[in-house]
Amino acid sequence: MSGKRHPMDKKATMKKITEKIGREKAIDLVMQAYNTELLTTLLNRLEEGKTKMIGGYKRRDQLDDALERVLAVCDLTP
């Protein structure tokens, strides 16, 4: 989930995930992935001492990353 990316259509991505694994499971997995993305971002910033960076921190869309991760796993299964 690094490098330049084009923003994905979150609703369409969630719909694809829901079609593959069902609504409740999709919500649960995306929420878990989102929480993981938030924690990863926070831990990386703390470990690297970037809590007070000036102009160097680029904001990421953790929901976008979470949806991408879950969809990638769903695409692995038939």
CA distances from 52 to 49, 57, 69 (A): 8, 9, 29
Please compute the mean of the pLDDT values over residues 43-71 and round it to a whole number. 75
Distance CA 32, CA 52 (A): 27
CB-count burial class (<10 Å; 0-12, 13-18, 19+) for 70? buried
Look up the domain containing 46 and give its range. 10-76
Segment 2-25 mean pLDDT: 83
Q: Residue 16's Cα: distance from chain center in Å? A: 15
Residue 3 lies in a domain: no
- Is 25 contained in some domain? yes
Asked, for residue 71, whether it belongs to a domain, the answer is yes
User: How many domains are there within the chain?
Assistant: 1
What is the pLDDT of the chain when averaged over all its residues?
A: 82
> Does residue 48 register a pLDDT over 50?
yes
What is the average per-residue pLDDT within 6-14? 83
Can you tell me the distance from the alpha carbon of 45 to that of 35, in angstroms, rounded to the nearest whole number? 16
